Amino acid sequence: MKAIGVEAVNVTKRFGAFTALDDVSLKVRPGTVHALLGENGAGKSTLVKCLLGYNLAEVGSFIVDGREAHITQPQDAGRLGIGMVYQHFTLVPSMTVAENLVMARPDVPRVINWSVERARLATFMAGMPFKIPLDVPVDSLAAGERQKAEILKQLYLERRLLVLDEPTSTLTPQESQEVLGLVRSLVQAGTITVIIITHKLKEVAAFADDVSVLRRGKMVGGGAVAALSATDLTTLMIGEKHAPAIIERLGAPGATPRLAVHNLATLGDHGRPGLNIDAIVVHPREIVGIAGVSGNGQTALLEVLGGQRFATSGTIAIADKPYHARRDEAFALKVRVLPEEPLRNGCVPSMSVEDNASLRRFDRNDDGSPRRWLDRKRMSARAKTMIAAYGIRTPSKDVPIAALSGGNVQRAILARELDGAVDVFIVANPCFGLDVKAVADIRARIVAARNGGAAVLLISEDLDEIRELSDRILVMRDGAIVFEAPAGADAQMIGSHMVGHG
């Protein structure tokens, strides 16, 4: 068996005064899938980064394949046969898969003899349980294929222990099944041992042999997956018995369209097709979810609706009035947007929380008339109210918003956008990368806005989120709306339309 085991013994890692890992021990048996479970900031990534040589643990040691290992830099881990597949892809986007694979080797010759390399790659691919086109640039591969190419690269480097960091976070259900199934079969064949970092309990139950749970830098439990229930794992992860409550959608959607997008088209980026949307209609008191694999035009749609991109043709209407995403129109028609990566798209990072909280209204009175001098008192009061009402954790309202954690930036922008009456609310990936509590908070706010009568357009790459929140689901592929499904539609069916096998 080529697969190797690894053991962490009493590992402690501090960043300044903050203890990221506190006396953590972990044993991964060779030839198994070991899940590392925990919320954001629990220390999962820090632990594997220590193993991979990106971080150096202050205390403790690692035992690899039965021997104590001194791993001080990533190359050391590579020599021991330990590799990692990152959440953010590390293949070079403009290079082909073949170029990426060859360049990943530590012993690339000065001049690359492509006929020799090709033969080598062909032999290697013949022994793999799946195929990837070798001669296309990586950025033209779908997310699932990219993920497979990342795994392929590690196998090509003859790794015997692979760490997968949230490998399915950007994949459709089918792609997730496929990738994890592939990993499982490689493990069963004894080729590799796998440590998988995740917070998806379903995946742990379906694909892992053992599980370890981290919470706030401490190992709080674990064991064989078969012996633990989902409730046990949730309790270990959050440390409380109750799962966050889901807010229900109340009241039926209105009959007259509030947001109507017709025949919308844009230019494409990097040779990909642009938008080509026939119609998206959202009614008051309705959440319409737009599902789709990352990179199928969701960002472009959001940019057009948020005024960050020109449409080459098409109309957007809010309650039958034409809308061009200008600031005065947004104010008059009560259109609000929670963009993805709000630190980049939704605020001025170096300005204070208070200033950012007032970006929509600092230059207007309540009746909409223009203001020339800022009303600092009101801005300050508004910021204080928002911080209290949304539980935004910040040292004060005067620190730059960039200093806040991702979840708190998200809360702050959400507070600003949901301030006052909202007729149309456009949201993109609102919970990406947030912990369970922040996710529950933010989803509750979105549903509350809907129950209050807003028309909500929810663009998300998380299909579970779409299914949980939406009254109606649209599927986007290659810049077009290709499928419509009612609330609670089957995930597999939606997924098949997302990838185009429907």
Residue numbers at the binding site for another protein (CB under 8 A): 73-75, 86, 88, 90-95, 99, 102-104, 108-112, 114, 266-271, 309-310, 312
Closer by beta carbon to another protein, 158 or else 232:
158
The minimum distance between CB 102 and another protein, in angstroms, equals: 8
Please report, to the nearest 10 degrees, the dihedral formed by the alpha carbons of residues 400, 405, 407, 411 taken in order: -20
The minimum distance between CB 154 and another protein, in angstroms, equals: 12
CA 59 to chain centre: 32
Closer by beta carbon to another protein, 265 or else 281:
265
- The dihedral region occupied by 421, where left means phi > 0, alpha psi between -120 and 50, and beta the remainder, is beta
The minimum distance between CB 73 and another protein, in angstroms, equals: 8
The minimum distance between CB 75 and another protein, in angstroms, equals: 6
In total, the chain counts a number of residues equal to 502
The minimum distance between CB 433 and another protein, in angstroms, equals: 17
Listing from the earlier edge strand, what are the strands of the sheet with 67-69?
Answer: 18-28, 6-15, 59-64, 67-69
- Residues 4 and 265: their CA atoms lie apart, in Å, by 52
The minimum distance between CB 74 and another protein, in angstroms, equals: 6
6, 51 contact by CB (below 8 A):
yes
Name the residue with tokens 């129109």: 329
Closer by beta carbon to another protein, 156 or else 483:
156
Closer by beta carbon to another protein, 92 or else 206:
92
* Exposure string over 294-315, b if 16+ CB within 10 A, otherwise e: ebbbbbbbbbbbbbebebeebe
What's phi and psi for 24, nearest 5 deg? -95, 130
Structure tokens, 144 = 């699932």
Closer by beta carbon to another protein, 270 or else 327:
270
Closer by beta carbon to another protein, 119 or else 224:
119
The minimum distance between CB 91 and another protein, in angstroms, equals: 7
Closer by beta carbon to another protein, 83 or else 257:
83
User: What does each C-alpha distance from 226 to 30, 34, 39, 152, 179 come to in angstroms?
Assistant: 18, 12, 21, 29, 22
